Structure 1
Amino acid sequence: MRRKLVAGNWKMHGNHSANAELLAGIVAARPFVCDVAVCVPFPYLSETAVALAGSDVRWGAQDCSAHEQGAYTGEVSAGMLHEFGCRYAIVGHSERRAYHAESDQLVADKAKAALARGIVPIVCVGETLAQREAGETDAVVKRQLSAVIHTLGHCVGEMVVAYEPVWAIGTGKTATPEQAQAVHALLRAQLRAATAHADAMPILYGGSVKPDNAATLFAQPDIDGGLIGGASLKAADFVAICRAAG
């Protein structure tokens, strides 16, 4: 049995008081049956680490540089994240791919940099609405994942994969459980061809996951939890989604 993971992606949200309230609400709801994490903006890593210290809730970042150090103004390295106790780093989120022109290879290089510092990369893949309507979903997600598989080599089994259909992120639209499962099964088969650890690897679903649809999504055989956006900003909603994974 794969252990499920629910990871919150706060995106560019938060402030000191709201963060304290949110994290306190999550900690107070423990224990969880699944693994739970929050991926927060860089400036809040320190206070998140303090708030979650001693709990089994883990924390992570929403990105990391492909470079270890150097003249890369504005970048944050995996080594820096490691010093804050980060367990996870999201790489390749569709917003990074779209707004910052991140290529498949750059995403793969970021995943490799994270693993080199003992941080688990949550590698995001997903298609746009135009690509889905053109019947290109399978080709797109396989291409995105293939770059990471090739770059990580024998370390492939150490990452987490998140399928996030771009058309379902922040739109209120959600892939049906059957649509999501079909892509998750495709990704699992691709991973099986690359590593003997594929059946132990979590593949998360992200895309307008809410308390009222989480259980149905997580009941699918290859959906092992979620990467949660908007609903991760409200403790009650996030906790309910974590409970649905249990």
Structure 2
Amino acid sequence: MMESGSVRPHRVQSVARAFSLLEAVSAAPDGARLSDAAESVGLSRSTAHNLLATLESLGYVTQRSYAGRYVLTERLTELVRGSVGSDDALRELVHPLLGKLATISAETCYLAVPALRDYVYIDTVESPQLLKLAVPIGGHDPFFGTAIGHVLLAFRPATAQRLAHEQPDEWTRWKDTVAEVHKLGYALDLEDYQPGLCCAAVPVHQNGRVVAALGVSGPASRLPEERLRELSATASRLLTEAGMA
């Protein structure tokens, strides 16, 4: 007789089918057509379409404009990124640049990566000055209204698309700013997020894609707009020299 502890738990068919479709989409380098994805997991086109439409509305897949192929978004990666430890290699690469920028600016500098609904700080070098910004490693801040957040939205289209769907009011308010950040290559926060605090941020590239943002922040009295633009250029130069711009 089978012991109660060894009874196999009930499997929810719709959940299993959705994950099978995610695996099918992931296995297709150029994206999966609906018919191919449905056939590979043994589903009818209508069932596969309904499941993929649900996954698309949740931000896990999206359709490319050509041939209607489905591709994964970066949301699964962002779910995994709940733990700071997964970014040790990136932190090790960028930390020397943070140190250089902190020395040049005499302000707090930090590295942040996208999480699910906001971004998380994974490294920081604090300003030596008495009046400074304290950025806790593992702390979170929102995408909208912040220099770091606008850089990540400007250079990570899948993230922007998802947030536009999840927070349409905020997206409408800030979308022109995000477009300008993409054009300029950096973002400024002139007391938008917090009175008395100004920030600048630039994108960090790895393997041809933006994986993080590097920022510098401090009191508005020490960081007027012109100074922030200078520090943005300095940060971009440091990243370029390191092959990460």
TM-score of the pair, normalised by structure 2: 0.25
Higher strand fraction (1 or 2): 2
| TM-score (norm. length: structure 1) | 0.25
Which structure's CA Rg is the greater one?
Answer: 2
